[in-house]
Amino acid sequence: MTVKHGTDASPRRQRARRGQGDKLRGQIIEAVERLLIETGDEQAVTIRAVADAVGVTPPSVYLHFADKDEMLFAVCERNFAELDRATQEAAAGSEDPLESLALRGRAYIRFGVEHPEQYRILFMGKPSRTPEAFGIERLGNAAAFGHLLEHVSRCVETGLIQGDPIHVSLVLWAGVHGLTSLLISKPEFPWPEIDVIADRLCRALVYGMAPR
């Protein structure tokens, strides 16, 4: 048997035909997310590792992403579109506007804890790493801030909450972000059941905004 040296053990794709670029981009994003989940470490996500996982060469990855950070933020953006869905569904679980707002906060915390690497990259990393394409407005939308603001605005209009809707929304976001960040960065701490502490925090935040 003749053994050919210098061949790559991983299968390589042929050059993508016209119209297949979006498909490859999606496969790259899926590979990045798999590596994040499997390793729990963004340092394990390299252009080479992603290329090998997809079965393409590194230059093929660079056709879609300028660098590693851009790949990571693309994964985060997709996940936080799911966050928007999760918080909206949770908020629909009660007809009481304040209870609904607390449920929204609980869902945010739960989602962050279940997607720690994505959350860490997007909200706990250095601002200098954020790709230019991911401006503050885009990140705000990805974090479902727009729907939170709409919900708070309705509560303010009906007199259930006092204060400027934007300020109230920022306080609520800061509160749930604080607990989410602690749960992610200090997993060894003897936390009580996540849903219990999340519910207690969200109720304190929401009902603390109500008129005295």
Q: What is the pLDDT of residues 2-53, one digit of tens each?
A: 444 444 444 444 444 444 567 899 899 889 888 887 887 778 888 999 999 9
Domain co-membership, 80 together with 49 = no
CA distance 144 to 115: 15
Domain co-membership, 120 together with 166 = yes
Q: Structurally, how many domains does the chain consist of?
A: 2
* Residue 140 belongs to domain spanning: 69-208
Length of the chain: 212
Q: Does the pLDDT at position 82 exceed 70? A: yes
Which of 150, 18, 134, 137 shows the shortest CA–CA distance to 87? 150
- Tens of pLDDT, residue by residue over 177-198, are 999 999 999 999 999 999 999 9
Token pair, residue 20, equals: 């297949």
Domain co-membership, 30 together with 78 = no
Considering just the CA atoms, what is the radius of gyration of the chain in Å? 21
- Tens of pLDDT, residue by residue over 115-170, are 888 788 777 765 545 555 555 555 555 557 889 999 999 999 999 999 999 999 99
**Overall pTM surpassing 0.95 (yes/no):** no
Token pair, residue 201, equals: 């925090």
Residue 86: per-residue pLDDT: 93
